[in-house]
A and B are shown apart, each in its own frame.
Chain A
Amino acid sequence: MSNAVEVRAVTKRFDKVVALDDLSFDVAQGELFGLVGPDGAGKSTLFRILTTLVLPDSGSATVLGFDVARDLWDIRSRVGYMPGGFSLYPDLSVAENLEFFAAVFGTTVEEGYELIAPVYKQIEPFRDRRADALSGGMKQKLALSCALVHRPEILLLDEPTTGVDAVSRREFWGQLAALKASGLTIVVSTPYMDEAMRCDRVALMHGGRILDIDLPGAIGARFERPLFAVYGENRYAMLQALREYPHARSVYLFGDSLHYTDDREVPSVVEELTAYLGAKGHPDSRVEPIAAGIEDSFMALMGSAA
């Protein structure tokens, strides 16, 4: 068995909505694989198919070599699953939740302790606290511990960082990197584009389709056009001015700058734009060529897929 996950031409419809449209991809063993996309991209549906909760309308998929349609009990005993929203029992304590999920898999917290320790140690002081009294970051750690305690062969995490603050998000990805180092295959979904950089490989998902799939750096490198960042005061006015520029192909807000692409095949527009903006009342604007990131690629691919 070479691949931890293999998906072949999977399609799934709910009433008239196509949730997944002819999806195919692989995840290698020991890989930290990311599914990046907004709500409605089909990430949760894909996870439900991989965890055998839902059958695809057409196509096939295997997890750890087992077929999702035929071998559901083989898969269900080997997978660590964290659905969106951290499904924990709010009226049970931290320790009770963990013990329950260990017992359900026929093991104990002691047996799984070594694996979950890096995560669990941070919430262990709160082991008697009810799960609904935990902060988002602590719930996240508990849910991860519960998914890990039975020492699964693969982790399937559906939006584990959604609704959690930036500090906890960083820590969480640090923990995932450590788990991957121990050989665990991890498939994570997230709506945050910047988290894509933390994965070995990434699939950009939108509208039930994969827009691109590769190493995160490689996706950016495939960006079709030269990309420029524009800095300056009065960003909104600059944005509107640039949109009126006759050769502007796309102008978007981007953190502390604007990202601009031109519809001509010219290598650089730095001087032109600076002059144009100066004339429009932005004398201290600054234009720089930059490398495209995941988000730039996602937006370009979204636009052309629509």
Chain B
Amino acid sequence: MKRGALRAFMVKEFRHILRDRQTLTILLLMPLVQVVLFGFALRSDVRDIRLAIVDPSPDNATIALRNRFVASTRFRIVSISQTASAIEPLFRRGEADVALVFEPSFASHLASRTEPAHLLLTVDASDPNTGTVMQSYSRAVISSYDAELAAAALPPGRTVRIATETRMRFNPTLESVNLFVPGLIALVLTLVSALMTAISLSREKERGTMEVLLVSPLRPWQIIVGKVLPYLGLAFANVLTALLAAWLVFHVPFRGSVLLLLGESVLFAIVSLAIGVLIAARTSTQRAAMLAAMLVTMLPSTLLSGMLFPIASMPAWLAPFTSIVPARWFIVIARGIMLKGVGLPYLWRETLVLIVMAALLMAAAVRSFKPRLA
């Protein structure tokens, strides 16, 4: 008899699950989306490495090595100049990943018997994983060139012809925590702003107190702002705590302006808050609001923002989608400020994107909040 009772109960549960179309769609869809993303799209290997060349005295030898890089198809030369001063701005603006600096007497040293030819390899290691990969690709190209020279026995008897010095820029010790902290700040802000706002608003609806609030002089925008501001304050406090923890405990560098980062954090929080309000306007229960917030904000922020998986490595069809993920822009900003120490002159584009997103989403949020129930 007990078996019958258990069976009846399981049958009931199946029916509940199958009949809750909304939750079912999300539960079946989410794993599928994740499988596709993880399986096909998100890669850790690096492809389009942007190479900046500094060649004070171009000649056959340097050009031969430069061509080797191009021939490997992983590299793309974005700049060729004769002075090293050109590369720093390129790195700061995020326009170059690797810089190859030839010494002025590269060719003559290459031909000498005693002195190796010197190369300086500078790699943008903000993301230590890709930084390491780019470094090893670069070294592979150089050593294969070196091996060719050895085979041609020029000059004979010499083993090491090219000496490469490597610098990992912005993250010399390749700390992964430096990679994660900007992404974590984005995630924390998203959590507090989008998720909590959505839950708080839909809880009001579920409880029925929303009705009483509406039948009062309070205008919809006042209700929204009243809900949103405390969470904004909370988000702000969270960012400060995260930064303090990162700095004190993990010694994450902070090379740029704290004020600028806080300002950009507030901007990003506003974007997330607006998304939270929009989600609450479309859902009727807390549970639905929570699921929707996770699907629409947390998931893309983790997978598509460049926080864990470099955007440059994503397949062509996926990359455009990352542009609508607000966290993607914020992470560039946060990394720029924290690791590269750059300011608004370098980050104005990303900041502008966030401002436009905030304005559009806030307007949509206020409009979605109708003063009537039906």
Residues of B within 8 A of A54 (CB): 372-374
Q: Check A77–B211 contact: CB distance below 8 A.
A: no
Residues of A within 8 A of B39 (CB): none
Q: Check B209–A87 contact: CB distance below 8 A.
A: yes
Q: Check B215–A55 contact: CB distance below 8 A.
A: no
Cα(A106)–Cα(B218), bound, Å: 10
Residues of A within 8 A of B213 (CB): 104
Q: Check B372–A76 contact: CB distance below 8 A.
A: no
Q: Check A81–B215 contact: CB distance below 8 A.
A: yes
Cα(A105)–Cα(B371), bound, Å: 16
* A83 touches which of B211, B218, B371, B374 (Cβ 8 Å): B211
Q: Check A55–B212 contact: CB distance below 8 A.
A: no
- Per the 8 Å Cβ criterion, residues 229-271 of A in contact with B are none
Q: Check B208–A87 contact: CB distance below 8 A.
A: yes
* A105 touches which of B216, B372, B373 (Cβ 8 Å): B216
Q: Check A77–B216 contact: CB distance below 8 A.
A: yes
Residue of B nearest to A75 (CB): B215
Binary interface profile of A, 75-109, with partner B (CB < 8 Å = 1, else 0)?
01101010111011110000000000100111000
Residues of A within 8 A of B207 (CB): 87, 89-90
- With A83-B211, A89-B209 as known contacts, state yes or no: A53 contacts B373, CB within 8 Å: yes
Residues of chain B at interface, number, CB under 8 A:
15
Cα(A72)–Cα(B215), bound, Å: 9
Residues of chain A at interface, number, CB under 8 A:
25
Residues of A within 8 A of B214 (CB): 53, 76
Q: Check A53–B372 contact: CB distance below 8 A.
A: yes
Q: Check A53–B216 contact: CB distance below 8 A.
A: no
Q: Check B373–A83 contact: CB distance below 8 A.
A: no
Nearest CB on B from A49, distance (A): 10
- Per the 8 Å Cβ criterion, residues 211-246 of B in contact with A are 211-218
Main secondary structure on A side of the interface with B? loop
- Per the 8 Å Cβ criterion, residues 322-374 of B in contact with A are 371-374
Q: Is A185's CB within 8 Å of the partner chain B? A: no
Binary interface profile of B, 192-218, with partner A (CB < 8 Å = 1, else 0)?
000000000000000111011111111
- Per the 8 Å Cβ criterion, residues 42-60 of A in contact with B are 48, 51-55
- Per the 8 Å Cβ criterion, residues 122-157 of A in contact with B are 146
Residues of A within 8 A of B216 (CB): 76-77, 101, 104-105
Residues of B within 8 A of A55 (CB): 372, 374
Cα(A101)–Cα(B211), bound, Å: 13
- With A83-B211, A89-B209 as known contacts, state yes or no: A104 contacts B217, CB within 8 Å: yes
Given A51-B215, A72-B371, A81-B212; 14 other pairs, CB 8 A cutoff: A51-B211, A53-B215, A53-B372, A53-B373, A54-B372, A55-B372, A76-B214, A76-B215, A76-B216, A83-B211, A84-B208, A87-B207, A104-B213, A146-B212
The 7 tightest CB contacts between A and B, nearest first, are A87-B208, A87-B209, A81-B215, A77-B217, A51-B215, A53-B373, A83-B211
